[in-house]
Amino acid sequence: MDGQVGRRRSALLAATTLAAALALTGCGAGDGAQDSAGSAAEAPPANGGEAGRDAAAGAPEGAGAGAPDLRVDQRAIIYTGRMRVQVDDVDSAAREATAVAIQAGGFVGGDQRRSADADAVAELELRVPAAKFTGVVEEIAKLGQQQSRQIDTQDVTEESVDLEARITSQRARVESARRLLSRATSITDLVSLENELGRREADLASLEAKKRRLADLTALSTITVSLAGPAAKDTEEEAETGFLVGLRGGWKAFVVSMTVLLTVLGALLPWLVAIGVPLVALLVVLRRRRKSPAPVAPVSAPPPVPATRSAP
């Protein structure tokens, strides 16, 4: 009996110990999970600030501060404008338009003038900061009577972002090629890596040149201004069709052809006189010589035949 009671007590003690151990294990696991969750919430990103920005950028717009900024003032836009203004004095208006562009922080990219009379026309290409584009256009329109205006915009935000990403990737490729080149151990590997490095650097330079060009176009807008005098034609002549139009065109072509022909004839006439007159005289002399009869030689009479005598 005592032995049986002892075995029961031992089994009961073992069961109690096992239950206590399981309870302690569960509590420890719960505390560890809570500690891990708290540590994960308080710990900084593994990759530093860039990982944090990437995670914020990948979050939806409702997530908060990490959403991408797609406002109009943050986009890359190329502004181009073309306008024609009729003015009383073309030269004076051109000076004023140039002063407006310079005061706005721009410069004159091109200046072409035609004539100095009432039909004079000046073609100005103005480069002004994009922020001052609208103001400069309005100031130039006040120089005279505006006849036409055309404003074009091109959004190159995606192209700019893509170009920036390609430049970053290409720079990494260049650095990788440089590291491999520094560890080259044979002449063959050295030559091959130098060629590859040169090709990658050339591609990087091309991408950076495109980026500079794009940055220039977005930073400085282009305005092409035509300043026309009072007698200058305000619009181009419209294309006409019909029989009379064709007749006029044919007559003009005929006149032009005859003018060209007479011009060529006038240029050749001195040569024809200098060479043709002696040649014609020579031909006339030769022809006369062929027509003149040859002298006839005199025919001599045959000697007389002596008379024969008859025999007695």
**Looking at residue 307, what is its pLDDT?**
56
**Rounded distance between C-alpha atoms, residue 184 and residue 190, angstroms:** 6
Contacts of 180 by beta carbon, 8 Å cutoff, 6+ apart = 193
**Looking at residue 64, what is its pLDDT?**
40
- Computed from CA positions of residues 233, 235, 236, 238, in that sequence, does the dihedral angle turn out positive or negative? negative
**Looking at residue 258, what is its pLDDT?**
86
pTM comes to: 0.48
Residues across the chain = 312
**Looking at residue 294, what is its pLDDT?**
56
Contacts of 87 by beta carbon, 8 Å cutoff, 6+ apart = 93, 143, 144, 145, 227, 228, 229
Structurally, at CATH architecture level, domain 77-157 sits in: 2-Layer Sandwich (3.30)
DSSP H/E element including 9: helix 2-42
DSSP helix/strand/coil, 104: coil
Q: Residue 47 has which token pair?
A: 């990759």
Structural contact between residues 136 and 128, judged by C-beta atoms closer than 8 angstroms: yes
Query: Would you give per-residue pLDDT tens digits along the chain (312 residues)?
Result: 444 444 555 544 444 544 444 444 444 434 443 343 333 333 333 333 333 333 333 443 433 444 445 555 568 889 999 999 999 888 899 999 999 999 999 999 998 888 767 778 899 999 999 889 999 999 999 999 999 999 999 988 889 999 999 999 999 999 999 999 888 888 988 899 999 999 999 999 999 999 999 999 889 999 999 998 887 765 444 445 667 777 777 888 888 888 888 888 888 888 877 887 788 888 888 877 777 665 555 555 566 656 555 554
Instruction: Tally Cβ neighbours within 10 Å of residue 97.
Output: 24
Q: How far is CA 88 from CA 85, 118, 231, 260, 298, in A?
A: 10, 8, 9, 40, 102
Domain ranges across the chain: 77-157, 158-216
**Rounded distance between C-alpha atoms, residue 9 and residue 101, angstroms:** 104
**Looking at residue 32, what is its pLDDT?**
42
